[in-house]
Structure 1
């Protein structure tokens, strides 16, 4: 693999494995050997369904704002905030009025996200 194959641009919508997570919620997935990145875009007021998975997940609010639901709590989040979701903890995100973009990091990589598809593929 050429080293150039390991470099990406956040704004380049053609890169990554596309996945539609729900109405108004899309992602581009970048799988690695030990971790996986996902760039999630939520349209204004769009919500990702509450779900869980065994992989640990970290999220960073890159743009916009929203309400992060995790373990039954609702926590407001804005640009620059980041969080950890332990494996098997129910979680989701509802975008604010301007929508939002989030960088998610999964460890280990989620097997179902290695191919294009729809939904959260929680098993």
Structure 2
């Protein structure tokens, strides 16, 4: 995959399984920014992890229990969260749902999958 065009058609992107019940597809990116759609089955877990990228996420569908730096909140459709670089974070889908994750800078390791 090469840096994206200015216009995005999500149906053209491939899904990549990440964890049990979780898959993602890159919607668009350049060196400074990446937008990723992440779909979760009910009960699926995005394990606690950290990375140097700043992450902002929007709950497009469903409900999630989101933990950032030891603080946990329940977020539903239309709500969002931001994760500073190198902070531990993860989530659990309370119902099937979709997150739209944005990263700065882009996640180069996602392109290897």
TM-score for the superposition, normalised by structure 1: 0.81
> Is residue 49 of structure 2 the alignment partner of residue 59 of structure 1?
no
1:32 is matched with which residue? Answer: 30
More strand by share: 2
Tell me by how many angstroms 1:114 deviates.
Answer: 1.6
2:79 is matched with which residue? Answer: 81
1 CA distance for matches of 2:59 and 2:67? 14
1:104 is matched with which residue? Answer: 101
For the Cα contact (< 8 Å) 1:17–1:114, is it kept in 2? Answer: no
Instruction: Report how many aligned residue pairs link the two structures.
Output: 109
What runs of 5+ residues in structure 2 fail to find an aligned partner?
A: none
Q: Which of 19, 23, 29 is 1:22 aligned to?
A: 19
Tell me by how many angstroms 1:7 deviates.
Answer: 1.9
2 CA distance for matches of 1:96 and 1:105? 21
What runs of 5+ residues in structure 1 fail to find an aligned partner?
A: 117-123
Structure 1, residues 42-92: CA drift from partner, whole Å, max 9, x if none? 001111110000000000000011100110111100000011100000111
2 CA distance for matches of 1:16 and 1:106? 18
